[in-house]
Amino acid sequence: MYTPRLEIFPDRIAENVRYILGLCHEHGAQVACVSKVLRAHPAIQKVFKEEGADMLADSRTENLRLAAETYPEMPRLMLRLPALCEVENVIRYADYSLNSSLGTLEALSQAAVGLNRTHKVIIMVDVGDLREGVWPDRVVPLVENAARLPNIEIAGLGANLACYGGVIPTPENMRTLIDCRDACRQATGLPLDMLSGGNSANLPLLMEGGMPPEINHFRIGEAIILGRNVLDRSPLPGTRQDGLRVVAEIIELESKPSIPIGPRGQDAFGNQVEFEDRGVRKRALLNMGRQDVDIEGLTPEDEGIIVLGGSSDHLVLDVSDAHQALQLGDEVAFMPTYSALLAASTSPYVEKKVVHGL
């Protein structure tokens, strides 16, 4: 098979979807399943649909267009705050969007009127992570002004945590979101039924029984696809971590010193690299580099292999202690982190291969 490639195991990921949807639905919460890390690959969209996702969510309008064409009956959520240049496509391809600025909401309203559609919005509140969201003391005026816009329906409020500042979801910051909703209800009379508490980072609090019952919507991606607790990247109980693998091919296999010989400057990416002297080692060169994947996010399936580094087009491994004998042309497989998966999914040079079965 062609290399480098990203192998997707939808039947394994389906087990994670079932488990996490079960947790959230038992709490009384809907789940928007997020496909952005796999670039809305049809195999993952199919798993989400068949396993009972309440919504499909993505940060790119192009991916939402693909979802709309494949599963037009499924509600779709635009995760990233819309840019003014894309508001028409947000209206075309998303039923919901996350928002924090009146100017953007006005542009969405104008586009929705022009396309004769009603668009639902979730007003984002910054409860401490310092990425998107209006500050809590300014949310009521924003909701009051947004409520006057034609063809815009305010579905509720939302928050995002553990993406920029690493702030962990707690009962206290979830209560801040609830209090903001209650204040907006009192000021406007709107029901604001949806409280979108956050992403995969909210699952540990939910599993511990600390999630307030008022939080009734989550946006889940990484925990489903990689089976990881995103607060520390440990395996999330009840999930599998083998739903994806990255595979590349050995294009050179030589024994070489572990330290470069001669005066050294910066590498191709402007870094001054330090090397450990381990003597002469067997080194494998693979046909995959930083243009294809985040090489720091690769863990070899063979625990005896060490990732040494790489350049744009090459990955360098120490395979002296590999558990299996390797030769030119052999394939080496890796488990990707979120960042490595994101890059491999996006790279046009990495083939995407769906592998069925457990």
Specify the pLDDT at position 151: 98
Shared domain check, 255 and 219: no
Structure tokens at 62: 């192009």
- Looking at every residue in the chain, the average pLDDT score rounds to 96
Q: What percent of the chain has pLDDT over 90?
A: 93
Structure confidence by residue, pLDDT tens digits, 190-202: 999 999 999 999 9
Our CA dihedral for 255, 258, 261, 266, rounded to 10 degrees, sits at 120
Same structural domain, 226 and 252 = no
pLDDT band for position 56 (cuts 50, 70, 90): very high
Shared domain check, 138 and 76: yes
282 is catalytic: no
Domain range for 267 is: 244-354
Residue 226 and residue 150 share a domain: yes
Asked whether residue 214 is domain-assigned, the answer is yes
Does residue 106 fall inside a structural domain?
yes
Residue 215 sits in the same domain as residue 341: no
Do 208 and 61 sit in the same domain of this protein?
Answer: yes
- For residues 223 and 289, membership in a common domain is answered with no
Peptide bond connecting 212 to the previous residue in cis, omega within 30 degrees of 0: no
Residues 135 and 219 occupy one common structural domain: yes
Q: Are residues 269 and 342 in the same domain?
A: yes
Mean pLDDT along residues 25-30: 98
Domain end residue (candidates: 181, 210, 231):
231
Same domain, 159 and 263: no
- 238 found inside a domain: no
* pTM summary value: 0.94
pLDDT at residue 93 is higher than 90:
yes
CATH classification at residue 271? 2.40.37.10
Domain closes at, from 185, 200, 231: 231
Maximum Cα–Cα distance for the chain, whole Å?
73
Count of domains observed in the chain: 2
Q: Among 36, 120, 256, 282, which one carries the catalytic annotation?
A: 36
**Of 231, 266, 298, the domain-final residue:** 231
| Domain shared by 65 and 122, yes or no | yes
Say whether both 309 and 186 belong to one domain.
no
For residue range 140-184, list pLDDT tens digits in order: 999 999 999 999 999 999 999 999 999 999 999 999 999 999 999
- The answer as to whether 236 is a domain residue is no
**Residue 211 near residue 26, CB atoms below 8 Å:** no
Question: 237 in a domain, yes or no?
Answer: no
At 260 the pLDDT is 83
Handedness of CA 299, 300, 303, 308 (dihedral sign): negative
**Is 1 part of any domain?**
no
**Three-state helix/strand/coil letters over the chain:** CCCCEEEECHHHHHHHHHHHHHHHHHHCCEEEEECHHHCCCHHHHHHHHHCCCCEEEECCHHHHHHHHHHCCCCCEEECCCCCHHHHHHHHHHCCEEEECCHHHHHHHHHHHHHCCCCEEEEEEECCCCCCCCECHHHHHHHHHHHCCCCCEEEEEEECCCCCCCCCCCCHHHHHHHHHHHHHHHHHHCCCCCEEEEECHHHHHHHHCCCCCCCCCEEEECHHHHHCEECCCCEECCCCCCCCEEEEEEEEEEEEEECCCCCCCCCCCCCCCCCCCCCCEEEEEEECCCCCCCCHHHEEECCCCCEEEEECCCCEEEECCCCCCCCCCCCEEEEEECHHHHHHHHHCCCCEEEECCCC
Inside any domain, residue 4: no
CATH number at residue 43: 3.20.20.10
Query: For residue 331, is it within any domain?
Result: yes
> What's the rounded mean pLDDT across residues 24-44?
97
Is residue 267 pLDDT above 80, yes or no? no
